[in-house]
Amino acid sequence: MQSLLAQTYPNIEIILVDDGSSDGSSELCNRLSEKYQTVHVLHEPNGGVSVARNNGLEQARGEWISFIDSDDYVASTYIEMLFQAATGHGCALACVPGGHDFRDGDSCTLATPDKADLSSVVYKDVDFLRMMLYQQATTGVQWRLYRRDILGSNPFPTGIVIGEDLASTYKFVRRAGKLVLVPDRELYAYRQRRESLVRQDFNPSKADSAIRVSRQLYNDISRIWPDLTSAAASRCFSICRTVFAQVPTDTSDSENKRCRADLWAVITQHRQTVLFDGCARARERLAAAFAFLGIGPFTLFCRACRKAGLMQ
């Protein structure tokens, strides 16, 4: 909040969504809204990140929208830089390539106004989508400034516990038609939490979400941009591989057995495309090669990579 209140762009409305917090955040939000006229609070039962973003968007009055994770912080020029880039290039979407990663207990120094990288690059939607699908650019909803009209109403799918960004960002890029990238990671500090959802123990909702997102993504991309079908296959393979590595191999648990089978079906659907796609990440192509050896060797490969921290 300190970083948001320090923004150099003056005309800002800050909406805090209290998504069923139980750690005192609710009271802190109320105190901030009482102290600052630009801060508004929305209290709601815990519904997850997509519900929180949809409800916050519904309350927002601005023409431009940015979503900032509550455990991150941004440089004082963050909004101003993205707004200038978007309006200067006639784009409805501006973004940075990602954030400056830091871990719990650490801090990082972000760009100051005199050191910010002011260069920017404009991409057509199809070119940036290709980068996103091959994971050369982030799919995160944060790290971007959106003109409100490209978001639409309730743009974030509910009932998804992993991959909600992947399920929505490509739609915004399509509606924008083009976007501008400000290549400065020092504008956004991104906290890498040890207990983040990707790193938490497996539960069946992860598998169901990964499969739902990958099917929708692949169907949409192959229909709208046929030239990106291979790129879509690579990204679908990747998210299902990541979740597959977390599923316990205990075959006596029928639910875990179902999840492994469902994820394996998506993995085998895309393994040949990924293996022979020279644009796919080397990690995905190697995983695809192991997938051809069968579910046993593939499981060992995924678990070894996860233990080494190489699954994402």
Number of C-beta neighbours around residue 227 at 10 A: 10
User: How many of the other CB atoms lie within 10 Å of CB of 36?
Assistant: 13
Task: Work out the number of other CB atoms within 10 angstroms of the CB of residue 12.
Answer: 16
- Topology of domain 2-192 in CATH is Spore Coat Polysaccharide Biosynthesis Protein SpsA; Chain A (3.90.550)
> What is the pLDDT at residue 91?
98
The H helix count followed by the E strand count for the chain is: 11, 10
Spatial neighbors of 218 by CB under 8 A, at least 6 apart, are: 229, 232, 233, 236, 270
Q: Which residue has the tokens 């455990």?
A: 71
Which pLDDT score, from 0 to 100, does residue 104 have?
81
Question: Mean pLDDT of residues grouped by 10 in the chain (312 residues)?
Answer: 95 95 92 96 93 96 96 94 96 94 84 76 97 94 97 94 94 97 92 61 92 97 97 97 90 88 97 98 95 95 78 55
Strand partners, 94: 145, 180
What pLDDT, on a 0 to 100 scale, did the predictor assign at position 308?
Answer: 73
**DSSP bridge pairs for 145:** 94
Contact between 92 and 128 under an 8 Å Cβ cutoff? The reply is: no
Residue 175 in tokens: 């509606």
Domain boundaries, the chain: 2-192, 204-307
pLDDT at position 199: 53
